[in-house]
Amino acid sequence: MQVSATHNLYNTFQGELSFDRLLRVDGSFKGQLVSTGDLVIGATGVVRGNIDHLREVVSDGTVVGNIQAERVRLRRSAIVIGNITCYSLSMDPDVSISGKLNVHIQAPSRLHLDGEEEAPEDEVADSSGNADRLDDKNGDSGKQKSSKKDGSTKKEKDNDGTERDRRPKEDKKEDKNKDEPRRKKDGESSKNKSK
């Protein structure tokens, strides 16, 4: 790797930094690093902020923030306080990580930093593992709809299979009000029987 820029031990930099090739940080950086290149954090380097979309991150220093890269190499006594999302991860025995690791063949393009995998736009797997095609016009990807033929009930199954009533509160109140006379009649008839 040929270094295209160096941030030395005595410098402190703050803000958003974009670069194309390779950046070496031996000082302190606070902000966000966005690049398609490579990042090397030296033993004295400290990065406080997210590192996004890099090809490779090699760290001997400290990162306080999330890392999203194709390859991550943590060497010597590197410290990461945050989530790591990558395709390939290697680390030495003395490395310290406090956060979630998302090492996946489709990462980082298909995984969020919170560990959730993105489903294909028009397919969602149900709890049995079967994929169903969905109509995504209403932004309902990830949910399976089921409704009565008259369309009066609008219930959806979440990804975990739990069925929920997704109608507005007003519609639910109308249904409750429709049942009120029936409840009153049932209550009156039970009172009449007890007399």
Q: Return the pLDDT at 12.
A: 86
Residues in the chain: 195
Q: Give me the residue spans of the domains in the chain.
A: 5-103, 123-194
Residues 177, 50: Cα–Cα separation, whole Å: 52
Residues 77, 133: Cα–Cα separation, whole Å: 48
Q: Return the pLDDT at 140.
A: 44
Residue-wise pLDDT for 137-182, tens only, equals 344 444 444 444 444 445 555 555 555 555 555 555 555 555 555 5
Between 33-37, 103-107, 117-121, the lowest mean confidence (pLDDT) is in 117-121
Residue 54 confidence (pLDDT) above 50: yes
Average of per-residue pLDDT across 105-132 = 49
Contact at 8 Å (CB) between 165 and 176? no
Q: What residues contact 43, with CB distance under 8 A and at least 6 apart?
A: 60, 61, 76, 77
Contact at 8 Å (CB) between 13 and 30? yes
